[in-house]
Amino acid sequence: MKREQLYSGKAKTIYATDNPDTLIAEFRNSLTAFNGEKKGEMEKKGYYNAQISKKVFEMLGGSGINTHFVSMLSNIEMLVKKVEIIKIEVIVRNIAAGSITKKYPMKEGTIFKSPVLVFDFKSDDYGDPMLNDDIAVALGVATREELAALRKLALRINELLVPYLDEKGILLPDFKLEFGRRDGEIILADEISCDTCRFWDKKTGQSMDKDVFRFDKGDISKAYEEVARRIVPEIFE
Amino acid sequence: MKREQLYSGKAKTIYATDNPDTLIAEFRNSLTAFNGEKKGEMEKKGYYNAQISKKVFEMLGGSGINTHFVSMLSNIEMLVKKVEIIKIEVIVRNIAAGSITKKYPMKEGTIFKSPVLVFDFKSDDYGDPMLNDDIAVALGVATREELAALRKLALRINELLVPYLDEKGILLPDFKLEFGRRDGEIILADEISCDTCRFWDKKTGQSMDKDVFRFDKGDISKAYEEVARRIVPEIFE
Ligand SMILES: Nc1ncnc2c1ncn2[C@@H]1O[C@H](COP(=O)(O)OP(=O)(O)O)[C@@H](O)[C@H]1O
Ligand SMILES: Nc1ncnc2c1ncn2[C@@H]1O[C@H](COP(=O)(O)OP(=O)(O)O)[C@@H](O)[C@H]1O
Ligand SMILES: [Mg+2]
Ligand SMILES: [Mg+2]
């Protein structure tokens, strides 16, 4: 069923399938940060992220969010609906952390009164610069209607994710989403994992995500495994 | 009437007056670019910019835009209404030029289908980073209602400026505005000059603005003088 490799990104490899409407996303163990400047590798990273993503996509799908997830073909291979990716990284921020606290006078840990949405232009060549609606439209990356739809979807996904994770003792300071076009609809694509979310332990405030790798905060394997244990306990049985 | 100096910025010095509702903005000859990294001086720069600003404020005021301009106290001293400056640089772009063509895949000279507005956080310490509405509100620099008002005012000012300058053989690729709060209203403040606008000669496309200084494009005095000759011919009589 798996056919030729279409694209090898920073964390996943994408393959064609016999069906032109689907793709296979293979979650790899490679880690990158700072637009590819820092590189690493972690055993089972692909496995944990694939399993976490699957579980989260299923939860969101069950709550009416249209996602690209179809099924798992193996521990690390996800069959997904093929979409035309919208070249925007949709970032939702609930608590100030990371880059935003460097770019603006905002203190790490500040809880935003309402979620702060940021749209970055998904472009490794340009270093993912921030967009506003006028620029996004001028660049042709999305229409105004699509931008409004992305905003609404991102906020809805946030509303679903925050309590879902809270129950598991995880705070969600921020996360990044990618969406794609398919049959005139916008659907949630890519992944939702320790690579694309900030997860903080609710009790200790400790990072359980890619920040452990970015800023050498400790044992990355332990961090990712702990998130997997809380979100997909069944894989440890 | 002039009292103590309140603030000396990169291009103007602000003085208090006997009236707590007004200030004096003195236009200096100093030139800076790239957030103060490049410095220079040009004879008569303050004079030309003050006279151009005055004339443009008068034109805008005559068309219903509320501006801070009161009167000229000398060639380079403008009496203005004191406002609480909103810490946003409101940038209006009609043609792609300068920083936007470096930050995104946009070719210099591309005419935008509709004006592209950009709000930058006015902060020398943070290097004027770009904002979006959510970030501006989270930072407390403006309310959503104010942001909407700024957008409307900036577009209206652009609609007035473009034909006004076109008549004088000047293209307006982009410009920067500052606004302030006063008695519950938002009024246009600061300056509109060769320092804050890109002015291109309509026939030759040549820069007649601070880009001549920024990128050593030729004789800056000649460029500013030429704009003054077209906008305020009366001062050369
Ligand atoms: N359903 C999908 N259809 C098509 N492309 C997708 C889909 N889901 C994700 N992608 C794209 O596949 C690539 C995933 O690989 P990744 O390693 O994350 O790449 P990147 O280095 O671009 O972040 C990304 O470019 C992503 O936008
Ligand atoms: N009407 C006004 N009331 C109060 N402040 C003003 C008014 N108009 C302009 N200003 C402020 O005065 C300063 C003008 O000086 P300038 O040399 O341009 O400073 P800067 O280096 O901050 O750009 C700016 O900080 C500007 O925001
Ligand atoms: Mg990716
Ligand atoms: Mg200034």
Q: What is the Cα–Cα distance from A235 to A225, expressed in whole angstroms? A: 11
pLDDT for residue A3: 83
Question: Which residues of B are less than 8 Å from A123 in CB distance?
Answer: 105
Q: Is residue B42 part of a domain?
A: yes
Q: Are residues A206 and A150 in the same domain?
A: yes
Distance B168 CA to ligand 2 centre (A): 28
Domain range for B145 is: 83-218
Q: Are residues A31 and A62 in the same domain?
A: yes
Question: Which residues of A are less than 8 Å from B113 in CB distance?
Answer: 138
Determine contact, residues A15/A23, Cβ cutoff 8 Å: yes
pLDDT for residue A35: 84
Q: Are residues B43 and B89 in the same domain?
A: no
Mutation pick for ligand 2 pocket among B19, B190, B196, B197 (CB with most ligand atoms within 8 Å): B190
Who lines ligand 1 at CB under 6 A? A 7, 9-12, 14, 23, 25, 68, 80-83, 85, 178, 180, 189-190
Q: Is A214 in a helix, a strand, or coil? A: helix
Q: What is the Cα–Cα distance from A5 to A24, expressed in whole angstroms? A: 9
A19: nearest Cα among A71, A56, A92? A71
Determine contact, residues A116/B138, Cβ cutoff 8 Å: yes
Q: Is residue B156 part of a domain?
A: yes
pLDDT for residue A1: 66
Q: Are residues B53 and B153 in the same domain?
A: no
Q: Is residue A98 part of a domain?
A: yes
CATH of the domain at B13: 3.30.200.20
Q: What is the Cα–Cα distance from A78 to B140, expressed in whole angstroms? A: 43
Determine contact, residues A39/A210, Cβ cutoff 8 Å: no
pTM of the model as a whole: 0.97
Please name the member of A115, A116, A130 whose beta carbon is closest to the beta carbon of B130: A130
Minimal-distance CA residue of chain B relative to A151: B134
- The burial of B87, by beta-carbon neighbours within 10 Å (0-12 exposed, 13-18 middle, 19 or more buried), is given as middle
Q: Are residues B190 and B106 in the same domain?
A: yes
Count of domains for chain B = 2
The ipTM is 0.97
Out of A25, A46, A79, pick the residue that ends a domain.
A79
B186: nearest Cα among B89, B65, B25? B65
Q: Is residue A46 part of a domain?
A: yes
Q: Are residues A48 and A92 in the same domain?
A: no
Q: Are residues A113 and A197 in the same domain?
A: yes
Q: Are residues A75 and A177 in the same domain?
A: no
Determine contact, residues A130/A93, Cβ cutoff 8 Å: no
> How many A-B residue pairs are in contact by the CB < 8 A criterion?
58
A59: nearest Cα among A158, A160, A194, A150? A160
Q: Are residues B46 and B59 in the same domain?
A: yes
Mean pLDDT of successive 10-residue stretches along chain B, which has 237 residues: 88 97 98 91 97 98 98 98 98 98 98 98 97 98 98 98 98 98 97 98 98 95 98 96
